């Protein structure tokens, strides 16, 4: 995507690649959060029926990736508020702060571009290289959460 962006001819073409990078990154973030929660279900040895129920009642009904409004509530339903607070205390505080800030930035950008078309709209989007860097920081934060969950006695 970065190569296509750099070789694009004209503003509209660069905006299309920048928009595509943001939308793809956001999709990856949502799926990764869901995978972390599913993995946690398996580690907790929840029955197949219980996982299916949790999938229908919680995971599929979570449509975004804001930490405080979406991901944290999924974790709370699964392991409880006390354990989520313990988890958050175990995390690298600077990485956690960066994760939440980047999720917020991605959400704002995604919300601005997800339901628009390009014609007649002037968008201010980061280049795909910037999106890729931000996504890497989100990856590191989510990996830290997953590692901490794996090491906790639940």
What is the pLDDT at residue 17?
Answer: 80
Cα angle vertex 100, ends 98, 104, to 5°? 115
C-alpha 58/C-alpha 81 separation (Å) is 16
What per-residue confidence (pLDDT) applies to 28? 97
Q: What is the pLDDT of residue 113?
A: 86
Helices and strands per DSSP (H, E), number in the chain: 7, 0
Instruction: Determine the pLDDT at residue 67.
Output: 98
Say what the pLDDT of residue 23 is: 94
- Note the pLDDT of residue 5: 45
Look up the domain containing 121 and give its range. Answer: 2-151
Q: Name the nearest CA neighbour of 75 among 152, 149, 151, 153.
A: 149
Is the alpha carbon torsion for 78, 81, 85, 86 positive or negative? negative
pLDDT of residue 114: 82
Domain count, the chain: 1
pLDDT under 70: residue ranges of the chain: 1-13, 117-123
Predicted structure pTM score: 0.90
């Amino acid at each position: 995507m970065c190569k296509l962006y750099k070789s694009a001819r004209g503003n509209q073409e660069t905006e299309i690649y920048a928009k595509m990078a943001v939308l793809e990154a956001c999709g990856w973030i949502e799926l990764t959060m869901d995978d972390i929660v599913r993995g946690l279900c398996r580690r907790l040895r929840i029955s197949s029926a219980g996982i299916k129920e949790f999938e229908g009642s919680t995971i599929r009904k979570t449509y975004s990736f804001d930490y405080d409004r979406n991901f944290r509530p999924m974790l709370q339903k699964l392991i409880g508020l006390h354990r989520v607070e313990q988890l958050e205390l175990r995390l690298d505080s600077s990485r956690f702060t960066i994760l939440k800030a980047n999720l917020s930035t991605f959400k704002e950008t995604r919300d601005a571009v997800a339901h628009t078309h390009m014609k007649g709209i002037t968008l201010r989007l980061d280049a795909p290289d910037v999106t890729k860097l931000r996504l890497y920081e989100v990856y590191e934060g989510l990996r830290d959460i997953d590692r901490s969950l794996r090491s906790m006695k639940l």
